[in-house]
Structure 1
Amino acid sequence: MQLNIEMYRKLLYNYIPVFAIFIISVLFLGCNESPKVSEDVKKINVELKVDRFDSEFAAATPEGLPALKGKYPYLFPAQYADSVWVAKMKDTIQIELFSEVEKSFQIFRRKKNPWSFCSNILNIIFHSLILQRWLR
């Protein structure tokens, strides 16, 4: 048993330089492509519009509820009557909750789109990975 352990230890010590060279070469070759992708990301212009249901619901009136239900039908289950949603619009706790949420999510009020860099990266990933595989 002792002989086998020594044999494996010698084999491992003999191949350490090979593993080190392999890992270093993978790191150098893998990092070579990054500037090209970042330039591609900068060139793509992506418009990202965020529609916040909570803001629209808080700003809506009982008369505007049908239009809101038409825009977001999946958020208004059929088993609830319109009176439930009207009561929720007028509920003081819901109004207070919305004002606190607005304080937390002020990022959506800025004129510059904070998501443009993320959407550019996602667009590059989609075009380079998914579409190329689909077209093969």
Structure 2
Amino acid sequence: MRKITLFVFVLAAFFSCKNDEALENEIAKIDTHFNIERFDRAFAEAKPEDLGQLKKVYPFMFSNHVPDSIFIAQMSDTLQNELLNEASKKFNDFSTIKNEINRLFQHLKYYNVSFTEPRIITLTNNVSYRDKVIVTDTIVLIPLDNYLGQDHKFYGNFPKYITQNLEPSQVVVDLAKAYAEKQIFQSQRKTFLDEMIFFGKQLYFKDKVIPFKTDAEKIGYSKEQLEFANFNEDMIWTEFVENEMLYNTDSSLPARFIAEAPFSKFFLALDNETPGRLGQYIGWQIVRSYMKNNKVSLNEMLQTEAIDIFNKSNYKPSK
């Protein structure tokens, strides 16, 4: 009997992989049309007399409330020039990122036929890492100084859990997150479960639109951090359930298990060994279980209430 069960499992996995491969081959045929506009380089090379032309081409990059003298001063500012120089060196070749953005856009067009490619503008933004990317329906802004590499000198005073994701490989991951946020609906985010499912939706969205990225890259973990979460999934879930956290509205719970942090806060001796955001990780597994056990589309799931997703997920972490 065990041999039959194993055979059925292997067979199901085989056909699932074949179906995934066929889908990716279909998506790869979708045409996209976009350019990467290097505003960072244009500004670095501009002279004061070029400002008028820059403002004409990139009007959204210049506030009407800021006098031209400020922008002209920035052209000769030592710090600004160093930021621009470092961005230019790191991203002299943008082909890898452009290819990943192309693949993201192909998947977005597959799952949303109304999606149209925006203008993509690169810039520097004084290492404002809390605003990793800005996405609208028509324009995407990518501040390159947020992706210079975790060991870059500009990040010397930042904590490790922040710098580990200031990598070029995270550009398309952050874009996918921004597009997920535009499409997710939940009427409320009051309980800890609401928060977990919200971020679980984000991460599952990444599963579908950037499947070429690893799970560690999608959630922003190191390989070791993801291994910890995978190995201890049952323990994490047991802590959440036994301490009656799921339907709790205590505002400290998202800070302990959802927000960016060096580790998760169970108030146990092993806390320092844990990665942060384990609530997001569990939410991801709940949404994955829901999608596996229910015939719903990606867009339908994004609009489904958290409690309905949980109740129909049949989520049971393996021990």
Normalised by the length of structure 1, the TM-score is: 0.62
Matched with 1:78 is 64
Distance 2:27 2:110 in 1: 11
1:66-108 residue CA offsets vs partner (Å, 9 max, x unmatched):
1111111121111111111111111222222221221221222
Q: Do 2:27 and 2:110's aligned partners in 1 also have CA atoms closer than 8 Å?
A: no
| Alignment counterpart, residue 120 of structure 1, candidates 99, 103, 120 | 103
Distance 1:48 1:120 in 2: 12
Which 5+ residue runs of structure 1 have no aligned equivalent?
Answer: 1-18
Distance 1:23 1:91 in 2: 62
Matched with 1:104 is 90
Which 5+ residue runs of structure 2 have no aligned equivalent?
Answer: 115-296, 298-319
Amino acid of the structure 1 residue aligned with 2:85 = S
The answer to whether structure 1 residue 38 and structure 2 residue 20 are counterparts is: no
Matched with 2:42 is 56
- Aligned pairs (5 A) from 1:11-50: 27-44=13-30, 46-50=32-36
Q: Do 1:89 and 1:95's aligned partners in 2 also have CA atoms closer than 8 Å?
A: yes
What is the CA-CA distance between 1:55 and the residue it aligns to? Answer: 0.9
Q: Do 1:46 and 1:116's aligned partners in 2 also have CA atoms closer than 8 Å?
A: no
SS in 2 for 1:131: coil
Q: What is the alpha-carbon root mean square deviation over aligned residues?
A: 3.3
Amino acid of the structure 1 residue aligned with 2:92 = Q
Give the % identical residues. Answer: 28
More helix by share: 1
Distance 1:116 1:101 in 2: 19
Distance 1:23 1:79 in 2: 63
More strand by share: 2
Q: Do 1:45 and 1:120's aligned partners in 2 also have CA atoms closer than 8 Å?
A: no
Q: Which one has the largest radius of gyration?
A: 1
Q: Do 2:75 and 2:81's aligned partners in 1 also have CA atoms closer than 8 Å?
A: yes
